Amino acid sequence: MKIGHVEIGDKHPVFIIAELSANHNGSLENALATIKAAKRSGADAIKLQTYTADTITLNVRSDDFKLSQGTIWDGKYLYDLYKEAYTPWEWHETLFKAAAEEGLVCFSSPFDPTAVDLLESLNAPAYKIASFEITDIPLIELVASKGKPVIISTGIAEMEDIQLALDACRRMKNNTIALLKCTSSYPAPIEEANMVMVKDMAERFGVITGLSDHTMGSTVPIVATCMGAKIIEKHFILDRSIGGPDASFSMNEQEFTAMVKAVREAESALGVVNYDLTDKQKTGKDFCRSLYVVSDINEGDIITEAHIRSIRPGYGLHPMYLSEIIGKKSKQSLKKGDRVSFELIK
């Protein structure tokens, strides 16, 4: 998979996405500053959300449209929340250009066909399907039909939902798909992260997998990396004091920078399957065990366990030959501390 100028997948670094979401808090200046900060923090991409209150819900004041599921937004009506949180569409071109100037990939989550039209006009290099849109099969088909990579979050998805979404992409002849393990709680409890699913989804569905994270801290992204995640998405904010709907579970620049560093170190630590030792590692074998004389031996003596032992360092005969040496005669006198070799015994 390739998004913009960045290759994603095996043998490539984890693709790290800074999610802008509502963290501009209604200020274009904040949004532009966030893009610069994301670049400084080591992100590969900045991701937007493309909707308006009217394209994502209805301005209806009934219980159906009022949040009461134990979220940080309980008591608000959906329309009011999204009116507060949305990224104005007239900003999009400016934000895409600003990201390009920073060398960041910029793409978005569309929430209806008009959003797809806008993003197509900006040559968006990929599309993200948000967790709660995984059941919107017509939207997924439309996005997939554009022939660009499709990244799908699975926060509220059962296995059937995931399969239906993948089938929708493949019906549109689009196999450039990634699935992100996600826990749709804000913030998400770390014990519900279930990072083993990153590896399982890759094997089960035959796609690139990753993490869309709402937990606090860097632990889950590090574990995801170790489980084979090739994409990590995390909400990013200049400063939580800015406020806004997503501020409480978003990372600031310092935290995001530390996460990126930790992920890169985890990648480096994973390495490759290789049983050969480097030259430096080979010198370490000098400190392994080998056979040495531990009690003086006279020429012709029968060698017993009292005469030789497996000790450090490793310059003597391999310990696996101990039983072969015991009971043999010594060809010459040997002193405590001499290395044992086959040449010294009959």
Cβ–Cβ under 8 Å, residues 324 and 301: no
What token pair was written down for 1?
Answer: 């998979």
Cβ within 8 Å of residue 314, ≥6 positions away: 285, 286, 287, 288, 289, 290
Instruction: Give, in degrees to the nearest 5, the angle at Cα 158 between 157 and 161.
Output: 70
Give the DSSP per-residue string, 276-328: PPPHHHHHGGGGS-EEEE-S-B-TTPBP-TTTEEEESSSSSB-GGGHHHHTTP
CA–CA dist 296, 325 (Å, integer): 15
Domains and CATH numbers, the chain: 2-51+86-270 (3.20.20.70), 279-344 (3.90.1210.10)
Among candidates 6, 25, 53, 34, which has minimal Cα distance to 95? 34
CA atoms within 13 A on the CB side of 147: 1
What sign results for the dihedral spanned by CA atoms 187, 18, 130, 2? Answer: negative
What token pair was written down for 323?
Answer: 């039983």
CA 48 to chain centre: 19
Cβ–Cβ under 8 Å, residues 281 and 301: no
pTM (predicted TM-score): 0.88
Long-range contact list for 167-175, CB < 8 A, 24+ apart? 168/137, 168/140, 168/141, 168/144, 169/140, 169/141, 169/144, 170/144, 171/141, 171/144, 172/141, 172/144, 172/145, 173/147, 174/144, 174/145, 174/147, 174/148, 174/150
* pLDDT tens per residue across span 178-232: 999 998 777 889 999 999 999 999 999 999 999 999 899 999 999 999 999 999 9
Buried b (16+ CB within 10 A) or exposed e, 31-52: bbbbbbbbbebbbbbbbbbbbb
Cβ–Cβ under 8 Å, residues 106 and 6: no
Please list the pLDDT of the chain residue by residue as tens digits (346 residues): 999 999 999 999 999 999 999 999 999 999 999 999 999 999 999 999 999 999 999 999 999 999 887 777 888 999 999 999 999 999 999 999 999 999 999 999 999 999 999 999 999 999 999 999 999 999 999 999 999 999 999 988 999 999 999 999 999 999 999 999 998 777 889 999 999 999 999 999 999 999 999 899 999 999 999 999 999 999 999 999 888 888 888 999 999 999 999 999 999 999 888 899 888 888 888 899 999 999 999 999 999 999 999 999 999 999 999 999 999 999 999 999 999 999 998 8
What token pair was written down for 312?
Answer: 């450090």
Q: Secondary structure of the chain: what % helix, strand, coil (to 5)?
A: 40, 20, 40
3-class DSSP state for residue 125? coil
* pLDDT tens per residue across span 324-339: 999 999 999 999 999 9
Q: Angle 28-41/92-102 helices, nearest 10 degrees?
A: 20
CA–CA dist 139, 293 (Å, integer): 78
CA distances from 325 to 245, 291, 320 (A): 76, 10, 10
